[in-house]
Structure 1
Amino acid sequence: MSRLSSFSCVSRQLAFYRPGSWSTCNVIFNQLKDLRPYSTVPATFENALLRDACSCSKCVDTSTQQKRFSTGQIPLDVHPKWAVQVNKNEEYEITWTAQESEDHVSVYSQELIEQLASPLRRYNNRWRFVRDTKLWDAETLKENLVSRSYDDYMKDDEAFKDVVLGLYSSGLAFIERAPTTESTSDLEIVVENIARKIGYIKETFYGSSWDVISLPDAKNIAYTSENLPLHMDLLYYESPPGVQLLHCIANSAEGGESVYADSFHVAYKLLEVDPISFYTLTKFPITFHYRNDGYHYMCTRPLIELDNFYMNPTPEHPPVRIKCVNYSPPFQAPFEHFVTQSETAENHAEFRTFLRAFKAFEGILYNKSELFETRFKPGDVALFMNRRVLHSRREFRLPPATDADNTDGNYGRWLKGTYLDIDSFHSKLRQLSGL
């Protein structure tokens, strides 16, 4: 017995076929206008898959919107008992039957059937905002960079939406004129308030927020006055932060300019000029670690991660879609693959292939045209996508009147930072995008 239910997206007609036994359920309805508007687009489902999509009150709790059953409870022989019906709300009703269970009635909207039938519709229902991604170099970023005042961001819905959408689109956005009178003991920390307007804060071993100041015997290069090269934060975590926020409280230092680069733009340029290097960087493992001050974190991942769930090319998306980039030389551990003398010559060659690819990536990344440079003013807040936008800081020198380990809050260069999980950011992004 076949266990397929077929929906052909052609017209508003409805049909159900019974070739000798209950084997196939064909429902014919409006074609998918966003897929191929002038052609027949048949869609065939496993009966069990379609039964699993039922959202009636017996299957999905009306309050929590959570499923009341497990997919494993669906009988393998589930099939339509009789012809599919169209109710007064223009919805499709299917009565399911099976040897080991009672009959069950499911109701499906045309919108749901189209979503199940169309990969593009499913994609748009969750990731429509992806098409708004704008790759950039230093010059093109100036045309798309979003910056709003703190008061507007906190009080005006449109300004808030501009910042969130701009942050996703370019991977970088700014807030200006935020309060700068806080101290480390304040209960209300401005950068945390800014972050919580988007979603919940990702607490790390640095706490819910932290101070970026120059300290003696620092446990992290960020807490020195040295040049901090381009990097991403906490890649030694299994789930690194998705968004980072940095709020400038004070800055009288000489130097210390902030530098940003779009790693996606760099990676796509590498794909265009050197595809072998690009694909090498999607496979070769790099271990990142933090082993200091009583902590030992590590995680291994490739430099470029591809999105394997939405690989079909469309007019809006390239055939290859990058999910994230992992680049943080200050926190790289020694390589653990293909490096010992006992390894084969072939594996040594593989490491050299990776090294060549890594150099090719950096050759594009450190081109001056890729680097957007700016200087923090007190009250400035930078928000950036931690798995896309690389950030760095030039070396700086504190004024003679300030002390690196000042304890009264009068630091020459003082930033406060916090993180957001990518999931909470995407949730807010979907809500603002009407998904």
Structure 2
Amino acid sequence: MSGLSTFVCFTKQVVEYHLGYRSNYIVGIYRHPQILRRYSQVASPKDTQGAKNAQISSNERQISFKDATFENTLLRDACSCSICLDTSTQQRRFSTGQIPLDVRPKSLVQANKNGEYEVTWTAKGVEDHVSVYSQERIAQLASPLWRYNNRWRFARDAVLWDADTLRGNLVSRLYDDYMNDEEAFKDVVLGLYRTGLAFLRDSPTKERTGDMEIVVEKIAKKIGYIKETFYGTSWDVVSRPDAKNIAYTSENLPLHMDLLYYESPPGVQLLHCIANRAEGGESVYADSFHAAYQLLEDDPISFYNLTMFPITFHYRNDGYHYVYTRPLIELDNFYTKPTPEHPVVQIKCVNYSPPFQAPFEHFVTHSETAEGNVEFGEFIRAFNKFEKIIYKPSQQFESKFKPGDVALFMNRRVLHSRRRFTLTSSTQGNNDDGSYGRWLKGTYLDIDSFYSKLRELSGL
């Protein structure tokens, strides 16, 4: 699809959406999770029972049941017999590329005495193969909602927030409860997904626990495996002379996300406060998804421009050279058609990190982007609008770390910053015990590791 046709399709959907009966649904689905719950159940037995005795027809290309029609190749690909799917590993024994294009039912498909559908597949040059599909499986294969639930049922509880909204939804639990009480642990993980931010309190105010494991790594490992970067498995956020990163100074650190110069940036960041005797240094957080959806409501064209225009992020210092290009807003393109289950557009992640943004290359000012339809001036206008939203005081949640606090936040959604701080002469640099006047210990998790735990806790 060309850039122009993509733009026309996108704006047409947005306009129809705003004029249609689903008005204000895009952000409403997040502000009011009950809207989605009405559509959040896999097809009930009542919905699928009629298929048992329904007329079933088939031809060279398709099999039609009462409420769904499948390509022969798709249904053959969904076979879960022991020949096709290992019963122990639940992994496939065949490739989709091995399915003959002329595969078809050998005879009329009918329900057996158990209400299951037995299909004997035949094709030229290969042995016949028997597949058995339950009514529930047929209903699942036909249901976009089932596919959505199988991956993202917990998404119905997501909350977009400004500062006031976050205060009523923020999860904060004690460290000991998080480590030893599974309900408290679940509360933190689900809360972290819902708002993108959660806190632990009263964690050990030292780098390592009695078993010599680093505290912030121990917290992270309860969720999943740590993402090691060129900073190591964990790292110290302290003010240092000749720092190689603005985070390691006492200067004001503007809103940003970490490591966007990586092809796969970290999904979750954890920061553990070991010591804080600084004046100032408050942490500020903002919900980039809330800002992006607000921009979509107010100015769809600016939103579109931020999904299309290339921004390059880089880090070139201290013997490292990382660079990657991505748009400010990335969409989940798997769901592109508005339905009661899915918004007209679904944001996958936001990429915003001015301290690590590379200079724009000359070609982008000449409308020669990949899609060829975003003027540089229009991109700047959209960028400015996005920044005006995230820097509104009402959109920002401010908190100052106390020793023992741990912040957990979604790195591809929640923007974080730190205000300038000062240290008295007695707290500057290292003390004899190796601590600092302001000392945070940080680590990362891959987003896949986090979502794996989230799905497990959500019963998916």
Q: By the TM > 0.5 criterion, same fold?
A: yes
CA shift digits 1:258-285 (9 cap, x unpaired): 0000001111111111111111101010
* Alignment pair present for 1:301 and 2:341: no
* Alignment pair present for 1:372 and 2:397: yes
* Alignment pair present for 1:250 and 2:288: no
Alignment check: 8 A CA contact 1:290 1:296 kept: yes
Q: In proportion to residue count, which structure has more strand?
A: 1
SS at match of 1:102: coil
Aligned-residue RMSD, C-alpha:
2.3
SS at match of 1:416: strand
Alpha-carbon distance between aligned partners in 2 of 1:226 and 1:358, rounded to the nearest angstrom? 24
Alignment check: 8 A CA contact 1:75 1:100 kept: no
Identity %: 75
Of 66, 78, 82, the residue aligned with 1:57 is 82
| Structure 1 residue 98, shift from structure 2 partner | 1.1
Letter of the structure 2 residue corresponding to residue 383 of structure 1: L
Deviates more, 1:418-427 or 1:394-403: 394-403
The verdict on how the C-alpha distance between 1:74 and 1:315 changes in structure 2, with shifts beyond 3 A counting, is: closer
Residue in structure 2 matched with residue 17 of structure 1 by the alignment: 57
Residue in structure 1 matched with residue 195 of structure 2 by the alignment: 170
Residue in structure 2 matched with residue 27 of structure 1 by the alignment: 65
Letter of the structure 2 residue corresponding to residue 359 of structure 1: N
Alpha-carbon distance between aligned partners in 1 of 2:81 and 2:364, rounded to the nearest angstrom? 57
Q: In proportion to residue count, which structure has more helix?
A: 2
* Alignment pair present for 1:392 and 2:386: no
Alignment check: 8 A CA contact 1:183 1:409 kept: no
* Alignment pair present for 1:322 and 2:360: no
What pairs with 1:6-155 in structure 2 (closer than 5 Å)? 10-17=50-57, 24-28=62-66, 42-155=67-180
Letter of the structure 2 residue corresponding to residue 205 of structure 1: F
- Structure 2 portions without partners, runs of 5+: 1-46
Alpha-carbon distance between aligned partners in 1 of 2:445 and 2:345, rounded to the nearest angstrom? 27
The verdict on how the C-alpha distance between 1:51 and 1:337 changes in structure 2, with shifts beyond 3 A counting, is: farther
Of 428, 435, 441, the residue aligned with 1:403 is 428
The verdict on how the C-alpha distance between 1:202 and 1:407 changes in structure 2, with shifts beyond 3 A counting, is: farther
Alignment check: 8 A CA contact 1:338 1:348 kept: no
* Alignment pair present for 1:193 and 2:231: no
Of 269, 285, 294, the residue aligned with 1:260 is 285
Alignment check: 8 A CA contact 2:267 2:411 kept: yes
Alignment check: 8 A CA contact 2:62 2:69 kept: no
CA shift digits 1:6-60 (9 cap, x unpaired): xx96543143336xx76653333xxxxxxxxxxxxx3221111110111111111
Alignment check: 8 A CA contact 2:62 2:70 kept: no
SS at match of 1:101: coil
| Structure 1 residue 315, shift from structure 2 partner | 3.4
Alpha-carbon distance between aligned partners in 2 of 1:266 and 1:351, rounded to the nearest angstrom? 21
| Structure 1 residue 341, shift from structure 2 partner | 8.7
Alignment check: 8 A CA contact 2:207 2:441 kept: no
Alpha-carbon distance between aligned partners in 2 of 1:88 and 1:384, rounded to the nearest angstrom? 52
Letter of the structure 1 residue corresponding to residue 449 of structure 2: S
Residue in structure 1 matched with residue 27 of structure 2 by the alignment: none
Residue in structure 2 matched with residue 352 of structure 1 by the alignment: 377
Alpha-carbon distance between aligned partners in 2 of 1:85 and 1:415, rounded to the nearest angstrom? 65
CA shift digits 1:394-416 (9 cap, x unpaired): 00011321232557422110001
Of 227, 233, 242, the residue aligned with 2:252 is 227
SS at match of 2:147: helix
Alignment check: 8 A CA contact 2:118 2:132 kept: yes
Alpha-carbon distance between aligned partners in 2 of 1:184 and 1:223, rounded to the nearest angstrom? 24
The aligned length equals 411
| Structure 1 residue 338, shift from structure 2 partner | 3.5
Alignment check: 8 A CA contact 1:251 1:377 kept: yes
SS at match of 1:169: helix
The verdict on how the C-alpha distance between 1:96 and 1:334 changes in structure 2, with shifts beyond 3 A counting, is: same
Alpha-carbon distance between aligned partners in 2 of 1:376 and 1:385, rounded to the nearest angstrom? 18
CA shift digits 1:119-141 (9 cap, x unpaired): 12211111111111100001110
Residue in structure 2 matched with residue 236 of structure 1 by the alignment: 261
Alpha-carbon distance between aligned partners in 2 of 1:214 and 1:385, rounded to the nearest angstrom? 24
* Alignment pair present for 1:207 and 2:232: yes
Alpha-carbon distance between aligned partners in 2 of 1:209 and 1:90, rounded to the nearest angstrom? 55
Residue in structure 2 matched with residue 276 of structure 1 by the alignment: 301
Alignment check: 8 A CA contact 2:171 2:187 kept: yes
Please, what TM-score do these two structures have when normalized by structure 2?
Answer: 0.85
Residue in structure 2 matched with residue 292 of structure 1 by the alignment: 317
Please, what TM-score do these two structures have when normalized by structure 1?
Answer: 0.89
Residue in structure 2 matched with residue 37 of structure 1 by the alignment: none
| Structure 1 residue 212, shift from structure 2 partner | 0.5
Alpha-carbon distance between aligned partners in 2 of 1:269 and 1:424, rounded to the nearest angstrom? 29
Alignment check: 8 A CA contact 2:367 2:374 kept: no
Deviates more, 1:245-254 or 1:94-103: 94-103
Of 400, 403, 406, the residue aligned with 1:381 is 406
Alpha-carbon distance between aligned partners in 1 of 2:414 and 2:432, rounded to the nearest angstrom? 33
